Structure 1
Amino acid sequence: MKSRIITVLMTLLAPLTLCAQGVKIEFFTPSIVHVVKYPGQPVTPESKVIIAKPQEVKLTRKGSTTSSSELTVQLNEKTGCLTFMTAKGKVLLREKSHTFAPLNQTFTLDKDEAIYGLGTIQNGKMNRRGEHKRMEQSNLEDFQNVIQSIKGWGIYWDNYAPTQFDDDVRGMSLTSEAGDVIDYYFMYGGSADGVIAKMRHLSGDVPMFPLWTYGFWQSKERYKTAAETESIVDKYRELQVPLDGIIQDWQYWGSNYLWNAMDFLAEDFANGKQMIQNVHQKHAHFMISIWASFGPQTQQFRELDAKGLLLSIETWPQSGISHIWPPRMDYPSGVKVYDAFSPEARAIYWKYLKKLYDYGTDAWWMDSTDPDFFNPKESDYQHPVTGGTWRSLRNAFPLETVRGIYQAQRKDDRGKRIFIMTRSSFAGQQHYGSNMWSGDVASSWEMLRNQIPAGLSFTLTGNPNFNTDIGGFFCGSYNTKGSGSAPKNPQFQELYVRWMQYGLFCPVFRSHGADAPREIWQFGEPGTPVYQSIKNLIDFRYRLIPYLYSTASQVTNNNFSYMRPLFSDFAADKKVWDMTDEFMFGRSILACPIVEAQYTQEKIVKEDAMTGWDKKNLKIEELENGSNKQLQSFNPSTFESLKSATKYLPKGANWYDFWTGKLYKGGQNVVLTTRFDQVPMFVRAGSIVPLGPVMQYVGEKPWDNLEIRIYPGADAEFSLYEDEGDGYNYEQGYYSNIIFTWTDRTRTLHISARQGGYKGMILERKFTLMLPDGTTKTIDYNGNQVTVKL
């Protein structure tokens, strides 16, 4: 039987009102149900997110119950409420009530049912039970309207207006500020991974990023000349510290009246095109900041304004004078956000951006894709945009502007994979070459702790690509010895190194921030404890790239995630349901970063994205009296002393300490001896982890002798993925996989014949096999299968 739409019209006796209501149920797949509720005539809303088409699904109907092979949906014809069950009749989720004014849907959850997702909420929590949140895109928090349960179901609420999420004794509810119909998708995946797979089926898979993007990135707010930007690459090469990406932040265009002109118009960037070419000659890649708004003197502004494609909202920057803070409001900038919902406006945007693409730019830093929206007025929300009003489409702005760049560049393919870093994200954005960072976060231990659950919650919406400003964006409270002195402050040094150890496990490994420079040499001389800790981390990141890139192929092809909350793999262990300081990095590595000060006293910083800019409003307090006295007498060698930390090892596996090889049983807390220059991490027994060589940039050295670490205790399999590293030939099948299979009972490693191929692949190589006890064996591999007994 073909997929069918079942429409049930009913009448409800509401207080003083008799009204007709409709419920439309559509099985997209056997495990995905599209639900639309409407107050009048039946409608089929057009989605900005859903790109999948309904499949042919065999359905059976018995009375008010409709079933596929995986799901049963039961309709209460009196209330219009639905109950979602497994094919065997186990209740997954019940609707409780709904209204159209306001547009609300309320569900009933089990008493102890944990729920997750929604987006990058910066409150340090994983479980969304008891949460009350108005979801509107902003600098620090972004929302995707995807929620999932520990029971294995998920919901995508297909509405783009600001939406209130509430969970309390009345139920779990979503209430949107605009929209004519209730429109959502119920997904049953059976697990966190399963729900993510369903969401990507609906909204799109995750394209591969260039191999070089997994290296180290350096940035700051901001490099003020082309010579300075280029010199950063020179210094990294001189010090022999690995670097793959350099980022040029804002104002390379000159005056704020020329805001986002998408060209090097500032006098100190007159040689911008040559700078990019020079960066490439130094074996690095170049990313540049672009915005969703334009100054009144730009060509873009004039063309968009003439077509009525600019919004009236107040945005950043507010003043046309760039070097004075707070903003001189008597010199308004006149900067306006463009209508990203308009195909014509997106085409104009790309027409001008193409100049930077022609110069050789490798990647886009799309800032303020929320976008910044100051002093909102009701009239702003009612402002018409293409296809609706600012209120009705507000939250989908980042999706539309990012999609516009992705689609345009794919049409103008020059052998570069698209890489976009963006400050905001909506559902489905994973399909358009974007990685989101968590905004202008403060430099504090509390904020570091918040980044872990924020990133994991983002991942659970189907978007796997997340990163943060390592060290936090605003570090001014640590400038105790003058402007820019934070990197010499032991409190900031400790925070920065620990944040970097967390960043090691993010898909993008990027140092950035304001108030003080963050380059490695700012933290001391080579060989000193802080400098060496940073260098060791960067070196180690490059060793992890074969593991990380192979994980990337699984993200693209098998709906994996890089950063995985522990309940994704260990849902039976209730102790991990709300764990916020540990997570899986890929399938094998348990990341346990240190997120509390061990060597200095923690500084409490109270600021948000705006108070961070307005230094007069910055409120700082010390955790204990006397910390300044401690800083004055602090000896850098203190960082060389050993400390301890307690970490939990999930039940359901045994775990090897990555650094010592010691084996621990899962389901227990362990007290670890910790070092400043190492991040605690474990590997699941029954894993295979490939490690590459340390190199100055991706591609400097061939992967012709990878170290293959085998962790016994269970059978294991790992697929080593390789391709050209850039371009989209992989979509045509130009890549290879070498599958390593460990049979624990016989202690045998089988290496498959190479599957597939691509231009420039290594035909003959070595693999150095290593066990946790130090057993090592090097073998030759020429593409044919090999079996080794260890």
Structure 2
Amino acid sequence: MPPTKFLLLAAPLAALAQKPQVQKQPDGITLTLPAPNDHAARTVRLQVVSEHIIRVRASVLDSVSSEASLMVVAQPATPVRWQYQEKKGLGMLSTASLRATVTLATGEVAFADAQGHLMLRERPNGGKNFAPVTLDGQTFYQVSQTFESPADEGLYGLGQHQNGVMNYRGQQVELAQNNTEVAVPFLISSRNYGILWDNYSITKVGDTRDYQPLSSLKLYSKEGTPGWLTATYRDKNSQQVVAQRPESVISYEYLEDQKSFPETVKLGQTLATWEGSIEAGTTGLHHFLLKNAGYAKLYIDGKLQVDKWRQAWNPGTSLVALNLEKGHKYALKLEWNPDGGESYLGLKWLGPLEGQSANEYSFASEAGRGIDYYFVQGGSLDEVIGGYRQLTGKAPVMPRWAVGFWQSRERYKTQQELLDVAAEFRKRRIPLDNIVLDWSYWKPAEWGSQEFDPARFPNPDAMIQQLHAQHMHFMISVWAKFNEGIPAFDAFNAQGFLYPRNIADRTKDWIAPGYTSSFYDALNPRARTAFWNLMNTKLFAKGIDAWWMDASEPDIHSNTNVATRKELMTPTALGSSTRYFNAFPLQNAKGIYEGQRGTAPSQRVFLLTRSGYAGSQRYAAAIWSGDIAARWEDFKSQIPAGLNFSLSGIPYWTTDIGGFAVEHRYEQPNMAVKDLEEWRELNTRWFQFGAFCPLFRVHGQLPFREVFNIAPAGHPAYESMLYYNQLRYRLMPYTYSLAGQVHHQDATIMRGLVMDFGQDPAVRGIGNQFMYGPSLLVSPVTDYQARTKQLYLPAGTGWFNFYTGQYQPGGQTISEPAPLERMPLFVREGTILPFGPELQYADEKPADPITLYVYTGKDGQFSLYEDENVNYRYEHGAFATIPLSWNEQTKALTIGERKGAFPGMVASRTFNVVWVSKGKPAPVDFQRAADKTVTYAGQAVAVKME
């Protein structure tokens, strides 16, 4: 071909290559962009998953990754009607409920509802960033995606975090598994959408800039010298200065940083202070992130901002947001008592968001093939969570006993000790369904053997049989950890199932003389099978009912920095530990769930695990909030932590009632009177809160955590804890119905107020009260010696005091009495609240009679759910529902026709009805006579209020 003719042909082809190209596919479109450089999006793929869900993928390559997801399950091949059209440089992909519009020149995607109301938009020009990174010899990308966010938007979910924040707008949330921190990459918005970010690496969400050292600010010493703070280290006993030096960076956050302290400093004998001033170069909202173990007090501008204690081996974080003026000096003082020979401290800073970034949030991950996220739209936040569970799997119905009361402590050291505690509960008639055996039931050197130490547990089979005979279930702690030198270690190591680095480093743990150990690789399917087989042979065969999967981050070696943690997890069976950093707990739960269902298909699996990820709920995994401290500030933080976790789509969550780790003042056999009073009150208030968590469990270090060991019978603390325990069991028909709705309707039990009252702007930042199911407003008391509680009654409905029946209109803040024995509890207008008989354990007797408290004023409804309580036949239709409805206009309660059936169902039962109204307040009282009594045999019955 002549050269001139070739050039004439090449010119139009080159021009064509510079224009965006759209390829329509059966489930969406692929847009090919003229990428300006190697780090920009070249391909954008929009895929219709359902009427309410659009998947967006982007890549710097000519195609997007098609790797199978660990978090997202295979979607049913249900045809979805959608259409695509182009107009004025925009491509619009629309379903009956959702419109996704892509700017063809840049790949920017925006989402709107069917009426065209904008819900979310990527930053103009796409907001997509890719930076190549090489991991284990393979090329990946650090990826980020930025979205616009209006000032009034509330952002929630993202797992469990201990910073006390409810609404994450304008905040930074780091998704990295750690003891007390659980990463779930699902964000949910008050604008009724969610973003599921399909990535397993460490991810920052919101304000994704890195926190900076204090040296990024202007610093001044205690004497006013510019450039540093004055660090003073004193002997704890003599108060003599052992070291003083200028420090402009306070970064002693990890084990590797311990060498950075002055050589003369012995942490267990030292008090430290950092003093001086800070000066910001920008006016606005500044954030300070404090990480501490031991006691820490942070003062800024003369005001106490943080007063916190954490056990030396498990630091916690505090977030302080302050408005600072440019050029103004603010006094800063940080006081620290390490309270141990190894302790951790760090203080970092992040400046204000400015300009466009103040109205944006981002996802930024360390490693991925590309950008991959799902936009989930709904008419309510319940529907959005339903979309999350469509993508990541339904939550099974937990066994009925699991929503009763659990008793645990760190730890029952002998078989007899555990049996004595169980017997005491039954003797005192304190309801109990589950008793838990924590770690170290094995011989000291045989962690991972899954075998009982016969010296302390001479006959575990008989122990479990005895508990079962007392109608108690038995849960046991299992770690993914193996000590070197035991047969299980040798077997796993020979097959390459263990992470090798911790062994090669010869690192010893903290038990007795210290042992060398490692964890198995849960990302290896053969290793998961081997792990279950070990559990099955050694433990499950004895009749164990449930599993407590501790340290499932995995915590191979505590308090090491992220780089070391990645080294300890290398290699994984799937690839780089950087890429799969957060995936371990998901795959660990998968192996146990699938293993037990294969071994005993008729027994419901139950897992309690210290960490989880998107999809954990499909493996019957509940999460607890880790090794938190027994302090009021930790108690306060649990409420927004649990609410945001529930808003992340995983419905079963719990906390160590009373806090796990205790200060030395509580460890003494003869505790000081003032400390004993505070200890009892802390446990009482925490217990009151725990009775309205999805799972209700006590656990912690010394002192012993049983009700009768906290306070004697007759003491207000004892009587209060007994009252809320018994109330939990009276509410069993309500709570187990909620558990059924979690599976069948994708419901959520522990509900941030934004879920039910999102139209009320006042609720968007409230993280100290919540709804338990649709009916009960719970307002825990989290301040020592408080006897009143300021709380907000959401607008749009009225509220009845649970204890008196008195009515209050919504949309107001009230000051409610809160004696030690009771916390504020309100019932929503239009509620039908079912109570069952008094129980000692969940299956002691059928839910008959049921008392229905009907709170009038608005129409209301509720559906009672029942099944066989312990098996999976409900998955095949073996369950029943009874619809309940109240008509305010006709003043009629209808107990509707029962739908469904199952073996052993109560065919005929009694309903007692109590009316509660503005003019006729009625406290919840199980001794009072019913206003109406109805015999019900499955056919609809209407009851008129007189």
Q: TM-score, normalised by structure 2?
A: 0.75
Residue type of the partner of 1:583?
F
What is the alpha-carbon root mean square deviation over aligned residues?
2.1
Residue type of the partner of 1:271?
N
Residue 547 of structure 2: which of 353, 361, 364 is its match?
A: 364
Deviation at 1:483, TM superposition (A): 7.4
Deviation at 1:92, TM superposition (A): 1.4
Q: Does residue 789 of structure 1 match 2:933? A: no
SS in 1 for 2:490: helix
Deviates more, 1:366-375 or 1:390-399: 366-375
Q: Does residue 44 of structure 1 match 2:66? A: yes
Residue 261 of structure 1: which of 449, 456, 476 is its match?
A: 449
Q: Does residue 423 of structure 1 match 2:610? A: yes
Deviation at 1:478, TM superposition (A): 4.0
Residue 903 of structure 2: which of 756, 759, 762 is its match?
A: 759
Deviation at 1:486, TM superposition (A): 9.7
When residues 10 and 321 of structure 1 are mapped into structure 2, their CA distance, relative to the original with a 3 A threshold, is closer
SS in 1 for 2:42: strand
Q: Structure 1: which 5+ runs fail to align?
A: 600-642
Note the alpha carbon deviations across 1:636-688, whole angstroms, 9 max, x for none: xxxxxxx3222210001111111100011110112222222222111111110
Residue type of the partner of 2:799?
W
Distance 1:376 1:445 in 2: 28
Deviation at 1:776, TM superposition (A): 1.8
Q: Does residue 322 of structure 1 match 2:322? A: no
Q: Does residue 70 of structure 1 match 2:90? A: no
CA contact (8 A) 2:448 2:489 kept: no
Note the alpha carbon deviations across 1:612-639, whole angstroms, 9 max, x for none: xxxxxxxxxxxxxxxxxxxxxxxxxxxx
Distance 1:162 1:59 in 2: 35
CA contact (8 A) 2:654 2:695 kept: yes
Task: Tell me which residue corresponds to 1:778.
Answer: 933
CA contact (8 A) 1:244 1:285 kept: yes
Note the alpha carbon deviations across 1:11-65, whole angstroms, 9 max, x for none: 2324xx6977111111111221111111113131310011142642222222222
Residue 634 of structure 2: which of 429, 440, 447 is its match?
A: 447
Deviation at 1:485, TM superposition (A): 8.0
Residue 52 of structure 2: which of 22, 31, 47 is its match?
A: 31
Residue 528 of structure 2: which of 346, 355, 366 is its match?
A: 346
Residue 671 of structure 1: which of 810, 815, 833 is its match?
A: 815
Residue type of the partner of 2:71?
V
SS in 1 for 2:582: helix
Q: Structure 2: which 5+ runs fail to align?
A: 1-23, 132-141, 208-352, 923-929
CA contact (8 A) 1:487 1:523 kept: no
Q: Does residue 159 of structure 1 match 2:199? A: yes
Distance 1:208 1:58 in 2: 32
Residue 217 of structure 1: which of 406, 410, 420 is its match?
A: 406
Deviation at 1:5, TM superposition (A): 3.5
Q: Does residue 145 of structure 1 match 2:185? A: yes
CA contact (8 A) 2:40 2:128 kept: no
Task: Tell me which residue corresponds to 1:128.
Answer: 168
Deviation at 1:219, TM superposition (A): 0.4
Task: Tell me which residue corresponds to 1:282.
Answer: 470
Q: Does residue 89 of structure 1 match 2:89? A: no
Task: Tell me which residue corresponds to 1:113.
Answer: 153
Deviation at 1:484, TM superposition (A): 7.8
Residue type of the partner of 2:933?
T
Residue 11 of structure 1: which of 34, 44, 60 is its match?
A: 34
Deviates more, 1:474-483 or 1:428-437: 474-483
Deviation at 1:597, TM superposition (A): 1.6
Task: Tell me which residue corresponds to 1:615.
Answer: none
Deviates more, 1:425-434 or 1:313-322: 313-322
What count of residue pairs does the alignment treat as equivalent?
737
SS in 1 for 2:578: helix
Residue 375 of structure 2: which of 186, 191, 200 is its match?
A: 186
Deviation at 1:300, TM superposition (A): 2.6
Task: Tell me which residue corresponds to 1:476.
Answer: 663
CA contact (8 A) 1:475 1:486 kept: no
Distance 2:642 2:667 in 1: 31
Q: Does residue 80 of structure 1 match 2:269? A: no
Task: Tell me which residue corresponds to 1:240.
Answer: 429
When residues 554 and 3 of structure 1 are mapped into structure 2, their CA distance, relative to the original with a 3 A threshold, is farther
Residue type of the partner of 1:566?
L
CA contact (8 A) 1:313 1:337 kept: no
SS in 1 for 2:803: coil
Distance 1:19 1:52 in 2: 30
Structure 1 residues 646-685: aligned runs within 5 Å: 646-685=790-829
Task: Tell me which residue corresponds to 1:302.
Answer: 490
CA contact (8 A) 2:32 2:62 kept: no
When residues 19 and 577 of structure 1 are mapped into structure 2, their CA distance, relative to the original with a 3 A threshold, is closer
Distance 1:728 1:18 in 2: 49
Distance 2:519 2:667 in 1: 38
CA contact (8 A) 1:562 1:586 kept: yes
When residues 485 and 684 of structure 1 are mapped into structure 2, their CA distance, relative to the original with a 3 A threshold, is same
Residue type of the partner of 1:161?
S
CA contact (8 A) 2:168 2:206 kept: no
Structure 1 residues 696-715: aligned runs within 5 Å: 696-715=840-859
Q: Does residue 590 of structure 1 match 2:772? A: no
When residues 270 and 389 of structure 1 are mapped into structure 2, their CA distance, relative to the original with a 3 A threshold, is farther
When residues 18 and 731 of structure 1 are mapped into structure 2, their CA distance, relative to the original with a 3 A threshold, is closer
When residues 543 and 88 of structure 1 are mapped into structure 2, their CA distance, relative to the original with a 3 A threshold, is same
Note the alpha carbon deviations across 1:233-271, whole angstroms, 9 max, x for none: 10111111111110000111111x311211213520121
When residues 19 and 354 of structure 1 are mapped into structure 2, their CA distance, relative to the original with a 3 A threshold, is closer
Distance 1:535 1:766 in 2: 27
SS in 2 for 1:119: strand
Residue type of the partner of 2:70?
K
Task: Tell me which residue corresponds to 1:199.
Answer: 388
Task: Tell me which residue corresponds to 2:566.
Answer: 381
SS in 1 for 2:846: coil
Distance 1:291 1:58 in 2: 47
Deviation at 1:72, TM superposition (A): 1.8
Distance 1:451 1:221 in 2: 20
Deviation at 1:79, TM superposition (A): 2.4
When residues 732 and 58 of structure 1 are mapped into structure 2, their CA distance, relative to the original with a 3 A threshold, is closer
Task: Tell me which residue corresponds to 2:927.
Answer: none
Residue type of the partner of 2:190?
I
SS in 1 for 2:583: helix
When residues 104 and 477 of structure 1 are mapped into structure 2, their CA distance, relative to the original with a 3 A threshold, is same
Distance 2:412 2:670 in 1: 16
Work out the percentage of aligned pairs sharing the same amino acid: 37
Task: Tell me which residue corresponds to 1:632.
Answer: none
Deviation at 1:488, TM superposition (A): 7.3
Deviation at 1:6, TM superposition (A): 1.2
Residue 481 of structure 2: which of 285, 289, 293 is its match?
A: 293
Deviation at 1:779, TM superposition (A): 2.1
Deviation at 1:185, TM superposition (A): 0.7
SS in 2 for 1:656: strand
Residue type of the partner of 1:157?
W
